[in-house]
Amino acid sequence: MTNAQATETYPGELADVPGWFPPLDQMLFTWFLERQQKQGMRGDLLELGVYMGKSAILLGHHLQDGEKFTVCDLFEGDAPDGANQAEATKSYASLTQQAFERNYLSFHDTLPTVIAAPSSVVTEKVAPGTCRFVHVDASHLYEHVHADIGAAHDILMPEGIVVLDDFRSEHTPGVSVAAWEAVLNRGLRPVCLSTQKLYGTWGDPEPLQEELLDMLRQRTDCGLSVQEAAGH
């Protein structure tokens, strides 16, 4: 992962916020979150790994009355092990909690609940079965992603959505191993894949897939292919 440039200015639009959140994923997040809202699903939102807030800002736009949004990041704090510290130093050296909060408050009146700590603490802070959407985008090292996926499973509601970032990049094999391990051995059902992210559920993916296909077939700006692999 390359370093996104931090800015000292207040962002006017999401494109001004440094980070890694491609337009296709912005569209897919919006679709999944709006579908949940249309279906009357209520539940909290969680993001592990916010960096400067690019995806968190979009998530915050979908918060319904009475729902809670929690984010977790190391920010300037120490990582729990040397490999994670090296990852943070290499890719996120310019990150501060203040920069995240400044960016977030350029788009929203109030901050989410911010956990400035390793993602391993999240199960102590967010109750089981409470979230409708969890974005796993913190460390890309296998041991951390494996644990983050386990936490997402515990924290999600039965039909909730988990999104795993960087599940297939050449520089993040740990995410790939943890993601496909979750599919093959931990009951995760993939709903769709974008270039960067795997969207999954521990509920039933089929109604979601049918509606998603309907939506995507009407768009001329998205390539689409349907694949089957190992029964998924």
Ligand X SMILES: C[S@@+](CC[C@H](N)C(=O)[O-])C[C@H]1O[C@@H](n2cnc3c(N)ncnc32)[C@H](O)[C@@H]1O
Kindly list the residues in this chain that would bind ligand X in the complex (CB under 6 A).
Answer: 19-21, 48-51, 54-55, 72-74, 79, 84, 88, 92, 95, 118-119, 137-139, 144
Q: With respect to ligand X, which residue has the nearer C-beta, 17 or 212?
A: 17
Residue least distant from ligand X (Cβ):
19
For the chain, the distance separating the N- and C-terminal CA atoms, rounded to the nearest angstrom, is 29
Choose between 11 and 118: whose C-beta lies nearer to ligand X. Answer: 118
Residues across the chain: 232
- Least distance (Å) from ligand X to the CB of residue 88? 5
3-state secondary structure 21-67: CCHHHHHHHHHHHHHHHHCCCCCEEEEECCCCCHHHHHHHCCCCCCC
User: Nearer to ligand X by C-beta: 44 or 166?
Assistant: 166
CB 39 within 8 A of CB 24: no
Distance, in Å, from the CA atom of 2 to the CA atom of 28, rounded to the nearest integer, reads 24
Structure tokens that stand for 154 in this block: 């515990």
* Pick 19 or 203: Cβ nearer ligand X: 19
**In the complex, minimum distance from the CB of residue 54 to ligand X, in angstroms, rounded to a whole number:** 4
In whole angstroms, the minimum distance from the beta carbon of 40 to ligand X comes to 28
What's the closest the beta carbon of residue 226 comes to ligand X, in angstroms? 28
Q: Judging by beta carbons within 10 Å of its beta carbon (0-12, 13-18, 19+), is residue 74 exposed, middle or buried? A: buried
**Which CB sits closer to ligand X, 36 or 139?**
139
To the nearest 10°, the Cα dihedral for 140, 145, 151, 154? 130
Torsion, Cα 81 165 31 187, to 10 degrees, reads -80
Q: From the CB of 75, what's the least distance to ligand X, in Å?
A: 6
